[in-house]
Structure 1
Amino acid sequence: MHNLKPIVLTSPHNDQVKRWRKLQSRKGRQTLGTLWIEGEHLLEESVKAGWRVRALIVDQEREAEHRQWWEQRIKNVPVYFLPTRLYRTLADTETPQGIAAEVEIPKREVDPAIPADGVLLLLDAVQDPGNVGTMLRTARAVGATGVWLGKGTVDPYNPKVVRAAMGALFHVPIRMIDLHEELPRLRSAGYRVVGTHPRGDNVHFDVSYPGRTAFLLGNEGRGVDPELMRWVDCKVSIPMPGGAESLNVSVTASLLLYEYLRQQRGGSLDC
């Protein structure tokens, strides 16, 4: 059983409610060092990954629907019951699931070591939350060693990113970096930096990707900053024989990451 008695909050002017409302903005999340997540699935993933739950917030009219779940998984954490109308003012989805949490954002190392091996995804000013969330989800699926977010990239703790990532946010190593500083360091560490360009020198299927590979993807409108391109070892393009002008950046990331995975696995089977 959960050993903390639920606290009922009814006023939108309550200090706790005001605190959770601040989590709707990037500035609020940075100031408080926490984020707001909704639904049992995302809560489950955050708990599995060891992220600390600061508070559990439940729609009072739906508490019976979620009680067994939280009593089995969330221990010694304050639980707050809110009337439906008040809960909905905090929820970020059109059809709230009735359970949410304030979760601590793990403190990041100021200058962490570059991974010894593996594939990295580097994002230059990618601004669409759905794209970043999808790329985090794909990065987790292929076992990427990290997703590094350059300046101008959307906040990874934006609620829309969190939802699109489907729990990957809690498992993929994320860094907020200056790509102008980190690209030279990656190359010095033996990484091959691969940039995407619609008129790249090579079709990405034809390129051999070594164990240490970093894919650089750019802004949805302008692509990769030309200043960053000078640090790229190889420019690749995605073949589009059907005549499409371009692909969504998250689709491009998926194609690159899975080609890398295919090459690392090697071999072939008759089917």
Structure 2
Amino acid sequence: MKRIESVKNERIKAWKKLHSKKGRDQTGRFLIEGEHLVEEAWKSDWKVETVLTTADDASLFPGECIGVSEAVMKELSETKSPQGIVAVCQKKQWHTPERLKGRFVLLDRVQDPGNVGTIIRTALAADAAGVVLGSGCADLFNAKVIRATQGALFHLPVYMGDLVTWIEALKESGIPVYGTSLQDATPHDQFHSQEQFALLLGNEGEGVQSHLLDAATENLFIRQNRKAESLNVSVAAGILLFALKS
């Protein structure tokens, strides 16, 4: 197994640039960290280019494996406590399927990486067909998003696109689109379970934009204690996805 000991190594410096969105966009690559995420990537059809590890043996991972020093691992890690394994992966882009079928989650300007990642993880658990990130959402390949998906990223299509276009296409395919709003909306527990639907969730502070709510088939809300603050968007996503599909 090859080894790299110095943080000044040219490949290490190039990979460190993947910490930024600009670096990821320019190269079409991103980093994942931790044995679980690396294993999930290998089990999927994603392209894992290189595995870097502080362990003496990385024979479990096919392809290029490089041993690195603790200092190099710390340089590449984006966590306070490096887990000793990082992989360089190629980005993947999904194209809108010709025929839309199943359950979808549409995100409007959801900016917190933890929320985006958790919603992707929840969508996979709820057997969704895909998640759509509209403009203004956190970068899919941000390290915090990836960690929050817990590997779901590698097993569920995540599309980037204009939400108005998606809403129109879903409705044309006979799939109802449910916006989420505290005003002019129906309690979610009045809806019957459905095989196909799309759930539209919005920005943490401002909710879903009005023009998107107007385009939705119908808008709903979750009944809750009036003394409580509004629910976290990823919590709301979990409640609604499982309520509508059960």
TM-score normalized with structure 2 length: 0.95
Q: Partner of 1:211 in structure 2?
A: 195
Provide the alpha-carbon RMSD of the alignment: 1.5
3-state secondary structure, aligned to 2:200: strand
Aligned positions of 1:177-196 closer than 5 A: 177-196=161-180
2:157 to 168, 173, 190: 173
Alignment of 1:88 with 2:74, yes or no, is: yes
Q: CA deviation at 1:242?
A: 5.3
CA distance in 1, matches of 2:66, 2:239: 43
Q: Partner of 2:64 in structure 1?
A: 78
Number of residue-to-residue matches in the alignment: 246
2:121/2:153 contact within 8 Å kept = yes
1:12 to 1, 7, 12: 7
Residue type of the alignment partner of 2:166:
E
1:200/1:237 contact within 8 Å kept = no
Q: CA deviation at 1:216?
A: 0.3
CA distance in 1, matches of 2:176, 2:82: 44
Q: Partner of 1:161 in structure 2?
A: 145
Q: Which runs of 5+ in 2 are unaligned?
A: none
Q: CA deviation at 1:40?
A: 1.0
Q: Partner of 1:29 in structure 2?
A: 24
Alignment of 1:248 with 2:243, yes or no, is: no
Q: CA deviation at 1:24?
A: 0.5
1:194/1:236 contact within 8 Å kept = yes
- Shifted more, 98-107 versus 146-155: the winner is 98-107
CA distance in 2, matches of 1:11, 1:82: 8
1:140/1:168 contact within 8 Å kept = yes
Q: CA deviation at 1:81?
A: 2.0
Q: CA deviation at 1:58?
A: 1.2
1:192/1:210 contact within 8 Å kept = no
Q: CA deviation at 1:39?
A: 1.1
Taking every aligned residue pair, what percent have the same amino acid on both sides?
Answer: 39
Q: C-alpha offsets along residues 34-60 of structure 1, whole Å, 9 cap, x if unaligned? A: 21011111111111112121011112x
CA distance in 1, matches of 2:171, 2:198: 9
TM-score normalized with structure 1 length: 0.86
2:132/2:161 contact within 8 Å kept = yes
3-state secondary structure, aligned to 2:83: coil
Aligned positions of 1:55-66 closer than 5 A: 55-59=50-54, 63-64=55-56
Q: Which runs of 5+ in 1 are unaligned?
A: 1-5, 263-271
Q: Which has more radius of gyration?
A: 1
CA distance in 2, matches of 1:115, 1:48: 26
Q: Partner of 1:267 in structure 2?
A: none
Q: CA deviation at 1:209?
A: 4.7
Residue type of the alignment partner of 1:105:
K
Q: Partner of 1:45 in structure 2?
A: 40
Residue type of the alignment partner of 1:71:
S
